[in-house]
Amino acid sequence: MSALVLLHCTAVARPPDKGKGIWQLLRNSTGVVPMNMALTHPNAVIMFDQTGSGPSQYPLRRCYNGTRCKATHYDQSDSSCFAHSIEYNILSNGIRPLNIETDTFVLLRLHFRQWNTSSNRWIRRWLSIRYYEPCRHCNWRQSKQLLSANRWYASNLVLPEKDRVIVVGGRGTFSYEFVPKSSHRDKTFDLPLLHRTYDRKFIFANRDSILLDYKRHRVVKTFPRIPGDAPRSYPSTASSVILPLDHRDGFKKVEVIVCGGAASGAYTAAKEGKFLEDLTTCGRMVISGIIFKSCVITGNKHKWSMEEMPGPRLMNDMLILPTGDILIINGVKRGCAGWNSAASPSLQPYLYKQSKKHGKRFSILKSTKIARMYHSSAILLPDGRVLVAGGNPNNKYALSDVPFPTELSLCSLQMDRKFDKTRPQNVSIYYGGGRGVGYGAEFGVNFWLRRKPVKLKFTAYKPPFTTHSLSMNQRMVVLECKNMTRGEGGWVNALLKAPPSANTAPAGYYMLTVVNGGIPSISQRVRFMHA
């Protein structure tokens, strides 16, 4: 995709009815605050925190420079004597501590490989790139390659080109760059949008969005500002998603939604101990008539459609569910992002049914009892559950004697089991040879249904990396079913067509789900790949 939309506003199988859904406590403690979380393998989730938050619950025998940790008072102040990353095993509910040498923030996901760009306050480490490849004994490793500019609080996107990522922005950094570089001369490219929207008191704050042709390094389109006078990015942390792309319109309709944020002046007020009520609005806009191959805009009728959520929300996570509906979870009702800068946790998840009529799209799910505030995260698991973790509104780990202690528990939200009778089961994927399916090619899906299918849909979901209310690289495509036959014993064979190109779905692993009348199967991995 030679065009890139930059939006710097920067469970549950069948969505349960109001008050429904099942919360489950999986672990009392993860040992590390999952400020960052990503599905790296069908049965594994990687989580990590910034090392500057102090000692975690996992002391190490040796620190990063090789010296022995002796559990002395000095070691308690040495973050390198503690693990700040873990691998969570979904099946066993177990945890494996991992070593990560320098402070972290933004993670980029390519196939099974994890790329991580640094956000540490030390200049050298600000430029770091790390890798993580899941295996039984694998650990983080530091790359000799460095970024060209400091990228604290940057955004990242996997590009259509094989194993290439664009890294945009950062504190005091008004440019973008690529990983890996195409040549030694390929460094950074200035982005005027970041200059215009910069506020020296914040990381960045704005309501603007553009369409960037990253190959030609030019802005193709400046979209209307989202209504209202309040910015939607840190510390007024809203969240956003691209709604599912659908084969029925040739994957050409691109629509975004941005929800939540802080009131204007919330940051200054929070420093004075006053927590203003957060925004209740979502802005939704169709980016229509875009021809990606030539990067031409065929229309200028771009307009934000505003909707009211059931209540105010900030620092929320937004996840695309297998049904195509949006889950809005975690966050607060008053204040802004940052240490001790918010109050009134948002305990009720919202469900946004994007296909319903305006004004009828929101419902409220069952409340949690656990506050998930600053530095919380949520991801969708292959079995349909939503994994929810984290929350540390304090500068260091603080487990008591504060209004909102550091939260180390791990929970899940899942559908009511009464829907299991209509859930597709035993899903298998057949490529017909090879390790994946090429763009535009056909592949088989076999599954079992107890009853006759009801309005079947096939979705492929790119698992994101979540941090600070951003689910980077999250994407869903609704696939075309070319043919389907129902055999004896409830077995169903479907012939599906892969997306037409990497512009629609960048190469890599996706979670393929069979949705029967709104009830999804357990997802299976499908790999879309270049020929």
Neighbours of 11 (CB within 10 A): 30
Strands 129-132 and 456-462: unpaired
- Give the pLDDT confidence score for residue 108 in this predicted structure: 39
The one-character DSSP state at 316 is: -
CATH topology of domain 3-49+84-417: Methylamine Dehydrogenase; Chain H (2.130.10)
| Domain edges within the chain | 3-49+84-417, 419-529
Element (H, E) at 343: strand 342-345
Nearest residue to 443 via CA among 505, 506, 512: 512
Between CA 391 and CA 105 the distance in angstroms is: 15
Among candidate residues 390, 276, 392, the one with its CA nearest the CA of residue 335: 276
Give CA separation, 480 vs 23, 251, 255, 517, in Å. 34, 11, 19, 16
Phi-psi region of 418 (alpha: psi -120 to 50; beta: other; left: phi over 0): alpha
Contact (CB, 8 A) for 280 and 513: no
**Which element (helix H / strand E) includes 166?**
strand 165-168
Which 3 state secondary structure label does DSSP give 383? Answer: coil
Compute the distance between CA of residue 353 and CA of residue 326 in angstroms, rounded to an integer: 6
Give me the count of residues in the chain: 531
CA gap 64, 47 in Å, rounded: 19
pTM: 0.89
- Alpha-helical regions (H) of 144-245: 192-196
Q: Which residues contact 418 (CB under 8 A, 6 or more apart)?
A: none
Cβ within 8 Å of residue 132, ≥6 positions away: 40, 46, 98, 113, 114, 116, 138, 139, 140, 141
CB atoms within 10 A of CB 139: 16
Is residue 259 within 8 Å of residue 282, measured between CB atoms?
yes
Tell me if residue 497 falls in helix, strand or coil: strand
Going along 20-128, which residue ranges are E strands? 22-27, 36-41, 44-48, 85-89, 94-98, 104-110, 113-118
In this prediction, residue 476 carries a pLDDT of 98
pLDDT at 162: 81
d(CA 425, CA 444): 15
Cα 486 versus chain centre, distance = 36
> Identity (one letter) of the amino acid at 446?
N
Please, which residues bridge with residue 389 across strands?
377, 410
Which residues, listed in sequence order, are joined to residue 123 by a DSSP beta bridge? none
What's the pLDDT at 406?
A: 95
Residue 295 zone, left/alpha/beta (φ > 0; ψ -120 to 50; rest): left
pLDDT number for residue 337: 95
249: tokens are: 């319109």
* Residue of 387, 308, 384 whose CA lies nearest to 350: 308
- β-bridge mates for residue 286, sequence order: 255
pLDDT the model gives residue 7: 41
pLDDT the model gives residue 495: 97
Per-residue tens of pLDDT for the chain, all 531 residues: 334 444 433 233 344 443 488 999 999 999 999 999 999 888 899 998 887 777 888 888 777 666 788 765 544 566 778 888 999 999 999 999 887 765 554 343 333 344 444 333 333 445 777 777 777 777 777 777 788 888 877 888 889 988 888 999 888 889 999 988 888 778 899 999 888 887 765 444 578 898 889 999 999 888 999 999 888 988 999 999 999 999 999 999 999 999 999 999 999 999 999 999 999 999 999 886 544 444 444 445 789 999 999 999 999 999 999 999 999 999 999 999 999 999 999 999 999 999 999 999 999 999 999 999 999 999 999 999 999 999 999 988 999 999 999 999 999 998 766 677 789 999 999 998 888 999 999 999 999 998 888 889 999 999 998 999 999 999 999 999 999 999 888 999 999 999 999 999 999 999 999 999 999 999 999 999 987
On whether the CB atoms of residues 277 and 298 are closer than 8 A, the answer is no
Is 474:241 a contact under the CB 8 Å cutoff?
yes
370-408 as b/e: b if 16+ CB within 10 A: bbbbbbbbbbbbbebbbbbbbbbbbeebbeeeeebbbbb
CATH, range 419-529: 2.60.40.10
- Side-chain half-sphere CA neighbours of 234 within 13 A: 19
